[in-house]
Copies of this chain bind each other. A is one copy, B any other.
Amino acid sequence: MRNIGITVSYDGTNFNGFQTQPYGRTVQDEIEKAILKLSGESIEIDASGRTDAGVHAVGQVFNFHTASTIPTERWAIALNTRLPKDIVILEAFDVPLSFHSRKSAKRKTYRYTIDTGKFPDVFGRQYRFHHPAKLDVGAMREGLGYLVGEHDFTSFTSIHSTKPHHVRTIYEAELVREGVFVHMYITGNGFLYNMVRIIMGTLLWVGQGKLAPEAMGTILAGRSRALAGPTAMPHGLTLMSVQYSSDS
């Protein structure tokens, strides 16, 4: 028995999220079906975390234990030929038997992208949230700064969060302008349910002058979901990478 780690990208548009659900097409189901076709094994894979319906991944990571003798370097191409075109395996690598893609993860980076153009860029419409408002990116950047560090993120979590503790650490958070697009990149040791989307929904209020940048600090300190802004649409969100060594 050995343990294989896989980096996978997917277009979340036509999935009901990563994780197996009673209804709807999921990334996990498609990957488990592809593994079954390839190795004949009925395996449950473990991902670094679920992503919601409509959310994308550039570099999601999962792992699974297998008795197969297929060489590790063959898994990526062999799975890709058995997967639908909206899932692309990027790399397969051997990991210790103790490795667990969720429990071993040290940091995750997400990106949320806003398209501020008058009309949406049709080619990125499924990967960017079209919000044709004039945004004060400087104010948003200042507001985002209040979230960096170790904090209780209850205000920026869905009331449906099932986690007992809401303290997480944001290591880095930045806003990058690229023409009419505004990207937020955010890296932390873990993210609560809807956390990145609620942060972006609240920052959009700051960008439009509905909230002062300092309000981000006040909302954080208030520890109540009711204080923060709306949950931004899922399709602007992409899981960029998962890091497993704390120095990366």
**A166-199 CB contact bits vs B (8 Å, 1 = yes)?**
0000000000000000000000000000000000
Which residues of B lie under 8 Å from residue A86 when comparing CB positions? 122, 125
| Contact B89 A119, beta carbon cutoff 8 Å | yes
| Contact A119 B85, beta carbon cutoff 8 Å | no
| Contact B119 A76, beta carbon cutoff 8 Å | yes
Q: Which A residues have a C-beta under 8 Å from some C-beta of B?
A: 9-11, 56, 76-77, 80, 85-90, 119-123, 125, 127
- Docked CA distance A85–B86 (Å): 19
CB of A165 to closest CB in B, whole Å: 34
Identify 10 residue pairs between A and B in the complex whose beta-carbon atoms are under 8 Å apart, listed by A's number. A9-B121, A9-B122, A9-B123, A11-B125, A56-B123, A85-B122, A85-B125, A86-B122, A88-B121, A88-B125
B9, B80, B89, B123: the one contacting A127 at CB < 8 Å is: B123
Q: Can you name 17 extra interface pairs (CB under 8 A) apart from A11-B122, A89-B119?
A: A9-B123, A10-B122, A11-B125, A56-B123, A76-B119, A77-B119, A80-B119, A85-B120, A86-B122, A86-B125, A87-B122, A88-B119, A88-B120, A88-B121, A88-B122, A88-B125, A123-B127
- 5 residue pairs, one from A and one from B, having the closest CB atoms: A88-B122, A9-B122, A11-B122, A88-B119, A85-B125
- Docked CA distance A97–B90 (Å): 54
Which residues of B lie under 8 Å from residue A120 when comparing CB positions? 85, 88
- Docked CA distance A139–B205 (Å): 52
Which residues of B lie under 8 Å from residue A85 when comparing CB positions? 120, 122, 125
Which residues of B lie under 8 Å from residue A122 when comparing CB positions? 9-11, 85-88
- Docked CA distance A90–B120 (Å): 9
- Docked CA distance A218–B244 (Å): 55
Which residues of B lie under 8 Å from residue A11 when comparing CB positions? 122-123, 125
- Most chain B Cβ neighbours within 10 Å, of A77, A119, A123: A123
- Docked CA distance A125–B14 (Å): 14
CB of A78 to closest CB in B, whole Å: 12
CB of A197 to closest CB in B, whole Å: 19
Which residues of B lie under 8 Å from residue A125 when comparing CB positions? 11, 85-86, 88
CB of A83 to closest CB in B, whole Å: 10
